[in-house]
Amino acid sequence: MADPMKIRAKLTGDVAEIKVMMSHAMENGQRKDSAGNTIPHHFIQQIWVEVGGKTVIQGQTGTSVSRNPVFGFKVKGAKAGDKVVIKWRDNKGETRSDEAVVA
């Protein structure tokens, strides 16, 4: 399983600014190893973000996203203490879920 995500969620007024770094190799299937063999695809395909128990983002990514991707977004209507849950699933079926609290 991948390392935990680093999540920051800061409230300004009623808008939470959320930043997340996801630990993942994000192989695009075009690189070669030291023996000259192609490294197979391995990348995050789906991402879900919940704030305060409601899904606020549901998205897809592809092979063009870099290793250990960082995403940032703003969510209106958040409150201090709301739980932020971020989940992902990759093309090999591996999943990760981590959470933080809006401060």
Task: Please compute the mean of the pLDDT values over residues 68-85 and round it to a whole number.
Answer: 97
Domains of the chain: 6-101 (2.60.40.10)
Rounded-to-integer distance, Cα 30 and Cα 28, Å: 6
Q: Judge contact between 102 and 78, C-beta under 8 A.
A: yes
Rounded-to-integer distance, Cα 12 and Cα 45, Å: 30
For the question of whether the overall pTM of this predicted structure is more than 0.85, the answer is yes
pLDDT per residue over 1-41, tens digit each?
679 999 999 999 999 999 999 999 999 999 999 999 999 99
